[in-house]
Amino acid sequence: EDQVTQSPEALRLQEGESSSLNCSYTVSGLRGLFWYRQDPGKGPEFLFTLYSAGEEKEKERLKATLTKKESFLHITAPKPEDSATYLCAVQKRNDYKLSFGAGTTVTVRA
């Protein structure tokens, strides 16, 4: 059975304190792994898609990496505006559906 597990559930950081979020997955025939950011009461905002092990993508203070079993979202020198829930999702080949993890809620204190 396909599974997507994110850890930790919640992460409290001091401004400038870098950290990483983990998304481990078990899926047969992975097409891609997606990272989204969701603010309270809003829809998810697309961040990255990773398609193959070893791939890395960056956007401002965020960097996503992918292995055959997991993905990491690194937040470098976070700011309070990086506070949000970060969602990881996987997509299988021959299917456009996304299966989401439960998310990691990040709170960055000034």
Partner 1 sequence: GAVVSQHPSRVICKSGTSVKIECRSLDFQATTMFWYRQFPKKSLMLMATSNEGSKATYEQGVEKDKFLINHASLTLSTLTVTSAHPEDSSFYICSAIGLVGQSSYEQYFGPGTRLTVT
Q: Which one of 18-26, 45-53, 58-66, 76-84 is the stretch in contact with partner 1 (CB under 8 A)?
A: 45-53
CB count in 10 Å sphere of residue 100:
14
How far apart are the C-alpha atoms of 36 and 100, rounded to whole Å? 10
Closer of 72 and 98 to partner 1 (Cβ): 98
Q: Give yes or no for residue 11 binding partner 1 (CB under 8 A).
A: no
Which of 19, 22, 49, 76 lies at the binding interface for partner 1 (CB under 8 A)?
49
Q: Give yes or no for residue 22 binding partner 1 (CB under 8 A).
A: no
- DSSP helix/strand/coil, 82: helix
Closer of 41 and 54 to partner 1 (Cβ): 41
Residue 31's identity, in one-letter code, is R
Which of 31, 61, 74, 79 lies at the binding interface for partner 1 (CB under 8 A)?
31
Q: Give yes or no for residue 91 binding partner 1 (CB under 8 A).
A: yes
